[in-house]
Amino acid sequence: MCEEQTLNVVQEATYLISGGLSGFGLATAEALVKLGCRHLILVSRRGETPDNKASLTLLRETGVEVKALACDISDASTFIPKAQDLLATMPPLKGIIHAAACLKDVLITNMQERDLKVSMAPKIGGAMILDQFSRDYALDFFIVYSSVTTLLGNPGQGNYVASNLAMENLVARRRNQGLPGLALGFGAILDHGMLTRDPKTLKSLQERTGLVPYTAEEALNLAFSLEDPPAYVALFAADFKKLARLPIARQPRFSPLILAQDLQREAQGSFKMRLEKAAPEDRGNLILEELKVVLARILHTSFEQIQVHQPLQAMGLDSLMGVELSLALEDMFSGNIAGGFNAQMTLAELSVRLEQALEQQSGQTDMLDELGRKHGVTVAPLLKEQA
Ligand SMILES: NC(=O)c1ccc[n+]([C@@H]2O[C@H](COP(=O)([O-])OP(=O)(O)OC[C@H]3O[C@@H](n4cnc5c(N)ncnc54)[C@H](OP(=O)(O)O)[C@@H]3O)[C@@H](O)[C@H]2O)c1
């Protein structure tokens, strides 16, 4: 049993975990057993499968009653009677953990209603059904597994983020009604669940947001030892130097990260130094190559995939990513050039624009300001500095 346990788990009670038959949900079931749980209902559409059989057998061999309920949590008409049937012969239901999830990553500009439903149905759909269903029971806890992406965003996961945010609101409403409720915004989990099947997204989260993955055990030890938590708790580790680069990190709630931003600016200084040292004829290429690196990071793609003659929008740059690109340009040139591009522009055009601005430097700041005005680019700070 965890020494720091504060989650109220007792032997003569039943605990229900949606999504509890695989991944992080199954790790949660195992963690509850370590905390003393003896009766579990684990729900997933596929139920007991050859993949989870060994884990379930291990739990059962320790004397734990484990019922695998094959059911869609977003279908109240099948879930509720089946769960009630099981509970009729089990100790009273005292806790629910809602971990069911489905991903359908798609950029928001291409998102269809069906993409939203894939993610919304198990998450907020399931949470609403569990909320209603659980009102017949005196619960000690009602926990939903959300994600730190509701704080940080994640391009391509607008549906997932919206579903999680809706669940967080449902939990807040429960708390206002005097009911138990806790939304846990986990960061990346290294050894169980969705990111083990998607190393590309894990890598991109690590690089883009600086998230440092926890093992499921680390995350759950933290989660279950929270003392009197508020309705929402984010549980993540991060390299704040990287995290501070995100536009969203400029919100006041991230102000403790501002210090880390200074470190990040130091790192960005290296591009400025390379630019200053480069021969004038090499500068254009240097800028274009750096822009490709930056855009690849923002678009979650590889450097090789960047088409320099394709409009930014056609490459998938949405408005959130546009803000990121503006900030990256600010960092690259140590000045405010936000708004110096639009989504119809190609990377090659943007590079030429920036290069032209640099060529004009030589103390001709008036001419330069004029050029910047003409192109909607404020490049004077860097160029004046160099003049
Ligand atoms: N893993 C991470 O890094 C991470 C990070 C932050 C937050 N989280 C959150 O933690 C939770 C668990 O994540 P995970 O990584 O274990 O995900 P996962 O590996 O994709 O597992 C999701 C589980 O949900 C079940 N499920 C999906 N749709 C369902 C439905 N309609 N009804 C019933 N069960 C359904 C799946 O089983 P079937 O397909 O058989 O239905 C599966 O067991 C999720 O809520 C996720 O948002 C995970």
User: Relative to the CA of 188, which ligand 1 atom is closest?
Assistant: 3
206 and 119 share one domain? yes
Residue 257 inside a domain? The answer is: no
Place of tokens 């083990």: 196
User: Residue 281 is part of a domain; what is its CATH number?
Assistant: 1.10.1200.10
Distance 123 CA to ligand 1 centre (A): 9
Q: Is the CB of 194 under 6 A from ligand 1?
A: yes
| Residue identifier of the C-alpha nearest atom 7 of ligand 1 | 147
Q: Is the CB of 220 under 6 A from ligand 1?
A: no
User: Residue 76 is part of a domain; what is its CATH number?
Assistant: 3.40.50.720
Q: Is the CB of 99 under 6 A from ligand 1?
A: yes
**Cα separation values, 101 from 19, 128, 167, 233, Å:** 7, 14, 12, 19
d(CA 278, CA 288): 13
pLDDT tens-place values along the chain, 387 residues long: 444 568 999 999 999 999 999 999 999 999 999 999 999 999 999 999 999 999 999 999 999 999 999 999 999 999 999 999 999 999 999 999 999 999 998 988 899 999 999 999 999 999 999 999 999 999 999 999 999 999 988 888 999 999 999 999 999 999 999 999 999 999 999 999 999 999 888 888 888 888 999 999 999 999 999 999 999 999 998 887 778 777 787 777 776 665 555 555 555 567 877 888 888 888 888 899 889 988 988 887 778 789 999 999 999 988 778 878 887 887 777 664 544 788 899 999 988 888 877 776 545 555 555 555 566 655 444 433 333
Q: Is the CB of 223 under 6 A from ligand 1?
A: no
Phi, psi (degrees; rounded to nearest 5) at 188: -80, 140
107 and 176 share one domain? yes
Q: Choose one of 238, 256, 286: the last residue of a domain.
A: 238
Range of the domain at 330: 268-386
Q: What pTM was computed for the model? A: 0.74
Sequence-distant contacts of 233-236: CB under 8 A, at least 24 apart: 233/182, 233/183, 233/184, 233/185, 234/148, 234/151, 234/184, 234/185, 234/187, 235/148, 235/184, 235/185, 235/186, 235/187, 236/148, 236/185, 236/186, 236/187, 236/188, 236/211, 236/212
d(CA 149, CA 202): 13
113 and 217 share one domain? yes
Residue 246 inside a domain? The answer is: no
274 and 207 share one domain? no
| Residue identifier of the C-alpha nearest atom 26 of ligand 1 | 100
Q: Which residues contact 54 (CB under 8 A, 6 or more apart)?
A: none
Q: Which residues contact 381 (CB under 8 A, 6 or more apart)?
A: 333, 334, 335, 336
User: Relative to the CA of 148, which ligand 1 atom is closest?
Assistant: 6
Neighbouring CB atoms inside 10 A of 218's CB total 15
If one counts the domains in the chain, the total is: 2
Q: Is the CB of 197 under 6 A from ligand 1?
A: no
Residue 143 inside a domain? The answer is: yes
Cβ(141)–Cβ(180) under 8 Å?
Answer: yes
pLDDT of residue 268: 56
pLDDT of residue 364: 52
pLDDT of residue 115: 95
pLDDT of residue 324: 81
Q: Choose one of 216, 238, 260: the last residue of a domain.
A: 238
Residue 9 inside a domain? The answer is: no
pLDDT of residue 139: 98
Distance 263 CA to ligand 1 centre (A): 36
Q: Is the CB of 19 under 6 A from ligand 1?
A: yes
d(CA 382, CA 336): 9
CA geometry: angle 195, 104, 31, nearest 5 deg: 40
41 and 159 share one domain? yes
185 and 71 share one domain? yes
Q: Is the CB of 73 under 6 A from ligand 1?
A: yes
92 and 215 share one domain? yes
Q: Is the CB of 44 under 6 A from ligand 1?
A: yes
pLDDT of residue 382: 43
pLDDT of residue 301: 78
Distance 341 CA to ligand 1 centre (A): 39
d(CA 112, CA 95): 35
Q: Is the CB of 186 under 6 A from ligand 1?
A: yes
227 and 319 share one domain? no
50 and 119 share one domain? yes
Q: Is the CB of 101 under 6 A from ligand 1?
A: yes
CA 147 to chain centre: 6
146 and 18 share one domain? yes
Residue 317 inside a domain? The answer is: yes
Cβ(242)–Cβ(268) under 8 Å?
Answer: no
Distance 165 CA to ligand 1 centre (A): 16
Residue 327 inside a domain? The answer is: yes
228 and 338 share one domain? no
Residue 123 inside a domain? The answer is: yes
pLDDT of residue 308: 92
Residue 137 inside a domain? The answer is: yes
Q: Is the CB of 162 under 6 A from ligand 1?
A: no
Cβ(181)–Cβ(142) under 8 Å?
Answer: yes
Q: Choose one of 238, 254, 278: the last residue of a domain.
A: 238
Distance 203 CA to ligand 1 centre (A): 19
Q: Is the CB of 202 under 6 A from ligand 1?
A: no
323 and 363 share one domain? yes
